[in-house]
Amino acid sequence: MSALTRSPAWKALAAHRASLEGTALRDLFAADAGRFDRYRIALDGMLLDYAKNRITDETLALLTGLALQQKLEPMRDAMFGGQRINITEDRAVLHVALRNRVDRPILVDGEDVMPGVQEVLARMYAFCHKVRDGEWRGYDGQPITDIVNIGIGGSDLGPVMVTQALTPWHHPHLAAHFVSNVDGTHIAEVLRRVDPATTLFIIASKTFTTQETLANAHTARDWFLANGGTPETVARHFVAVSTNSTEVAKFGIDTNNMFGFWDWVGGRYSLWSAIGLPIALMVGPERFGELLAGAHAMDEHFRTAPLDANMPVILGLLGVWYGNFWGAAAHAVLPYDQYLARLPAYLQQLDMESNGKSVDRDGAPVDYATGPIIFGEPGTNGQHAFYQLIHQGTHLIPCDFIAPITSQNPTGRHHAMLLSNTLAQTEALMRGKNEAEVRAELEREGRSGAALEALLPHKVFAGNRPTNTILVDQLDPCRLGMLIALYEHKVFVQGVIWNINSFDQWGVELGKQLAKVILPELEGQGTKPHDASTVGLVGLVNGGKVA
């Protein structure tokens, strides 16, 4: 048994969990009118309501006890203090420095990183002004109309998600496009829609060695050169965001047109750095600053609020509660805002790449569940697709419902209808509908006898399904920054409880290595030994058809 599962706090939670068997959320609500008042946290136009969870005051006390036992506070302070908590890569973890709006010095090995952060931000902002004001011109003197960000993983998902979420603040004469997949269809479809004379390519890669990104970048440059561009004008159309100036120069981008960041910014935590350039170009430096300010407000809350009044801590602990003590393997994120359509995809990388680990910080196998499967779709679309399983399936799936009180597009009754669905879903999941209620309903519909009995079990909802509701006044840059930082810190909290390193991602390497072996085989350069299935599949691909 691991130290964690042997620990007093863990055992106390296991015993407490057993004592809650058979306790239904609807009964907890009926017995306690104060749940909503006690189980909510508000901060700067954002509210977390966590009353619809299988918890009591004792649960929260035991969960915060677990956090204390696992040294959450010292670990949090170590992150904010620039210590090298990413032990397998020997790096500090300082995305919080990128949005440190008060200029509190943040030291890594005794050196303050803040001047460097400010310097890159100032260069980014100056560049944004030039492009946005039409001062930055393409090869034939026209202003830029289209921005194509080429990157993948953390160099894509954050910029895509945020750019889409902040659509109401977009520059009226700029359009953003994102190319990530190595599938040639992705870049082909984007290049079909843009004009080389007025397009700016951002090649975004922390390492500048990522196969997909470099393939797309080369294809973009070849297309540019074949369509009116020249080697001399590449500099007006290609900029890079990277930590690797050597590889950027090798690719042929003038390092004057490179925006740097640092090894202490993890890919999936990098949208606050120069990786956010497409966002800043589209919404402008002022709005980008508000995004950073929102994240900073959440950082300060996480850093200073007591554990039991701390949004990321509570979200993280609730996830541990369900994953480790109730057997929940998945977690749904359900944004009731069309602008947040890509939030679930973004959170899949943030959470699953961070906490999808099965050895602890010392390399010992864990004997407890770690990060959950994250999925989601914007409401109300998800309701008409997979909510059936959440309501009546055999898996317990805790859900986060996220919604703005005010819409950016008030259109007739739409927003009230949207929000009525948000609130109804959390109520339905919590309450369910018991046999007596279903029976009464069927009788009111005029059913009776065998027909009623046959239908009855299908229409029962067990309820007792836990949800969090995150309401924001409106989805503006500041609130979006808060929301993303909330999830970043939630993931951190869980990693600390599970004693895993949330900041490496060795699990993505094996597939990359093997793809390098298979690629030459698909390009006619001989074959290599594999298992029978892989050999067979390579043969079919090389043969050009499946049979």
384 an active-site residue?
yes
Q: Is 301 a catalytic residue?
A: no
Query: What is the C-alpha to C-alpha distance for residues 429 and 25, in angstroms, rounded to an integer?
Result: 10
Smallest distance from the beta carbon of 146 to ligand G6P, in angstroms? 22
Given 154, 229, 276, 477, the residue binding ligand G6P (CB under 6 A)? 154
Residue 402 contacts residue 470 (beta carbons within 8 Å): yes
User: What is the closest distance, in whole angstroms, from the C-beta atom of residue 155 to ligand G6P in the complex?
Assistant: 4
Nearest residue to 345 (alpha-carbon basis) of 190, 162, 176, 204 = 162
Q: Which one among 69, 167, 207, 245 touches ligand G6P, defined by CB under 6 A? A: 207
Element (DSSP H or E) covering residue 231: none
Q: Contacts with ligand G6P in 31-60 (CB under 6 A)?
A: none
Q: Does 356 bind ligand G6P (CB under 6 A)?
A: no
Whether the Cβ atoms of residue 172 and residue 143 lie closer than 8 Å to each other: no
Q: What gap in Å lies between CA 534 and CA 525, rounded to an integer?
A: 16
| Span interacting with ligand G6P, options 96-104, 175-183, 205-213, 322-330, rule CB under 6 A | 205-213
CB distance 312 to 486 below 8 Å: yes
Q: Which of 53, 86, 210, 216 binds ligand G6P (CB under 6 A)?
A: 210
CB of 244 or CB of 474, closer to ligand G6P? 244
Q: Is 426 in the site for ligand G6P (CB under 6 A)?
A: no
Q: Which of 351, 353, 400, 476 binds ligand G6P (CB under 6 A)?
A: 353
Query: Is 353 one of the catalytic residues?
Result: yes
The residue among 157, 36, 45, 47 whose CA lies nearest residue 402 is 47
Of the residues 11, 173, 250, 384, only one is catalytic, namely 384
Q: Do 177 and 129 touch, CB atoms closer than 8 A?
A: no
Is 514 one of the binding residues for ligand G6P (CB under 6 A)?
no
Q: Kindly tell me which of 238 and 322 has the beta carbon lying closer to ligand G6P.
A: 238
- 213 binding ligand G6P? (CB under 6 A): yes
The 466-505 contact track toward ligand G6P, x by CB under 6 A, reads ---------------------------------------x
* Residue 218 C-beta: closest distance to ligand G6P, Å: 14
Q: How far is CA 285 from CA 144, 249, 299, 431, 477, in A?
A: 17, 27, 21, 46, 11
DSSP 43: E
Residue 41 dihedral angles phi and psi, to the nearest 5°: -135, 135
Q: Which is nearer to ligand G6P, 177 or 301 (CB)?
A: 177
Among 229, 260, 267, 335, binds ligand G6P (CB under 6 A): 267
Cα gap 245→209, rounded to integer Å: 11
Q: Judged by CB under 6 A, does residue 159 bind ligand G6P? A: no
Choosing from 353, 377, 488, 521, the catalytic residue is 353
268 binds ligand G6P (CB under 6 A): yes
CA distance 492 to 230: 47
d(CA 75, CA 493): 9
**Residue 357, interface with ligand G6P (CB under 6 A)?**
no
For the chain, give the longest Cα–Cα distance: 84
Is 435 in contact with 456 (CB distance < 8 Å)? yes
Contact 288, 465 (CB under 8 A): no
315 binds ligand G6P (CB under 6 A): no
Catalytically active residues, by annotation: 353, 384, 512
Name the residues that contact ligand G6P, by CB under 6 A.
152-155, 205-207, 210, 213, 267-268, 353, 505, 508
